[in-house]
Structure formats: C-alpha cells, structure tokens
Amino acid sequence: MTRKSIATRRWLVPGALLALVAGGAFWWGLDAPTATSPDAFTAAPDTFQESATVAEAPASPSPQPDNPPAPEYRTPSSLGPNPFASSLEGTDIDGVLQADASGRLLVGLEVRDFFDYFLNTVGEVSPETAIGQIQQMASQHLPEAAAQEAMVLLDQYLAYKQASLTVMQTELDPSRQFDPDYQLTALGDALAQLKSLRRETFEADARQAFFGMEEAYSEYTLATLAVQQRPDLTDEGRQALLDWHRNQLPEALRNTEQRLHDNTIEHQQRVHAVEAAASPEAAGQRLTELGLDQESVDGVVGYLQQRQAFDQRFQTFDKALQDRTTSGLVEAERQQQREDLLQQYFPDEQEQTWARLKLLDQT
C-alpha cells in the first residue's frame, strides 16, 4: 500500500501571505502564550514557548557548501505501524535528518519539515512527547555531534515560532484594514519583522534553508500585488513587470509560477474561444486549435449544443406561457399551468431546472 505524505508548502500559496490581514489581525484565533505559561505549547498547533530548551550543545549547525556531501547517516522514512500519535498512521515522515561522513548535520528545508511533522502532533500528544520523539530519532540514527546540532536547531526553531506570534497577532487599523495600499504596507512590515526575527535567531545557513524559498515567494507576492495596484501602468507595462518579477524567483519557484501563469493564459484563451464562437461547432474547432484533447472538445461541443437547443425550446415555451390566459385563475392554478408546460417542453429534469432558474431571472 502506498503511504501518504502530510507535508505542506505554505510558501507556494499566495493566500498564505494574504491571510495575515484577514479578520483585522495578522493571525486570528490564537491566544498569545507567555514564556512561562504551561499552556504555551497548546495555544495553537504550531505554537511553542521560547523556553523549551531540548538540548545543550556548544555549536550551531555547521554551514553547508553549495554542493553538500552525500549523507552517510539519516533517519528512517517511517515510524512503523504503531506511531506515537494516531494521526500519523499510514504516513511517511515528512523531511529527514541527515549527517555526512564526518558526523555533521546536513541542514536543508527537509530538517524543518521533519521538525514540523512531529511538532504538528502537539495537542494530540504533549509537547514533551513530540520533542522527545525528535530527540530519540536523532540520537538513534545520527552521530552524537549531528544529533546535538539537530537539537540546537530545534531549540532555535521553537524559540522563533514563539517569538513570531507577536508579529502574527499585530492588529490592523479597523478603519483602514480594507484599504489595498494599507494592506500592502502592513504585509511588507510583517514580512520585514519576520525576516529580522529569523536573522536574530538562526545562523545564515539554517535561515536560508528553512525560510529562503518562503521569503522569496512572499516578496514576489508583495511585488506583484503592488504592480497590480499601480494606476499609472498600461496592461502591457503591468504584464512586463509581472514577468520580470517572476524571473527573479529561484528556479524551482520560477518554474512552478511560470506553469501556473501559462495555465491561466491557456484557460483564459479557452474561455474566450467558447464565448466568442458563433456556434458550438466553431467553439470546438477553436478549442482543438488551442490544444484541447478530442474527448474534452467533444464534451464541450455536446454541452453547448444542448444549451443551444434548450435556449430555442425556452423561447417557444415562454411564448406558449405568455399566450395562455390566466384571467380568473387562482395562484395555485397558474402554477399548475406553468408546471404542465414545463413538463411538456422539458422532459429532462436538468433542463426543467434550467428553465425554472431562467423564469426566476425574468421576475
């Protein structure tokens, strides 16, 4: 049986950034825990108190070269049939802890994924249990030095998540929260504060590994929103700037964003082809030219032909309905007369629904 992954990549979703301003606050529904509160871990699924020191070691994770060495040690991909939290049953571990032949931790985004895989169970299990599982995996599968580095990095990550709550809970000015310019400014300020906090908390290599892609996409999202709001740009100028910003993204993000852009353009072309066509057959021909597969084209043409035939029948039905005399009839009798005509002209239940909706539009 194929196991499932529960990984998420919030930095790939533009809405994750925009969610910061939803509801008049940067993050809603969270009660900010104090550093000494025993409930600080459970205030939210991904909230952990700064004082949660899980290990002591003299060194931070070591910097990695552009082409890191192949891993010699790594944690397993599964917790087995009986994981410590029931929500993890049937899943593979997101991320991995790895060490090179010299026993140093290899720092990458997969380390953050690994931490989150365990930390996201808090609430289902205690914080101590989740952290203990990470510590156990590190100590069992990595050399001692790498295991210590992992625990130091986890300690920094927990401290960051706690401190970031202050930024995420910043209140917006209620009188301006729906002003696009104000929203952009608030989002930019929030991103700047988070970047500053990350630089205070992490060494450069860990910061880049954990948040580099996220920050690049957040900055891209802010830039494109700003371009979209510029009233002094023509459509062509706006598109040129959007293309330029997209080209500044790291390659992996740029390729993904380009695919999304191309798909949007293709979708718009197909919608226009259907709207502008003089007949269902003409729409089908244009969709074929745009690369839509034949099965899909046939489905679209068949649907448009059905709608065309319905529109013609509805005109005949509507005329017949108007020609029927209703003088002297009570409301129930008028409704029954209309229902009889609907059954006569539209034996298909779906088309009866279309006809009823169209009648409502006429009232």
Q: Cα(306)–Cα(304) distance, rounded to whole angstroms? A: 5
Q: Cα(80)–Cα(88) distance, rounded to whole angstroms? A: 10
Per residue in 255-268, pLDDT (tens digit) is 989 999 889 899 99
Vertex 161, ends 158 and 166: CA angle to 5°? 140
Q: Cα(305)–Cα(280) distance, rounded to whole angstroms? A: 6
- Map residue 122 onto helix, strand or coil: strand
Q: What are phi and psi of 105, to 5 degrees?
A: -70, 135
**Contact call for residues 124 and 87 (beta carbons, < 8 A):** yes
Q: Where are the domains of the chain?
A: 10-215, 230-273, 294-323+333-362
Q: Cα(159)–Cα(139) distance, rounded to whole angstroms? A: 21
pTM: 0.63
Q: Cα(82)–Cα(203) distance, rounded to whole angstroms? A: 36
How far, in Å, are 279, 308, 320 from residue 325 at the CA level? Answer: 36, 28, 10
The dihedral formed by the CA atoms of 185, 189, 190 and 191, expressed in degrees to the nearest 10: 100
Residue 140, token pair as written in the block? 């069992």
| Residue 356 CB neighbour total at 10 angstroms | 13
Residue 325: band (very low, low, confident or very high) from pLDDT cuts 50, 70, 90: low
Per residue in 19-63, pLDDT (tens digit) is 333 333 333 333 333 333 333 333 333 333 333 333 333 333 444
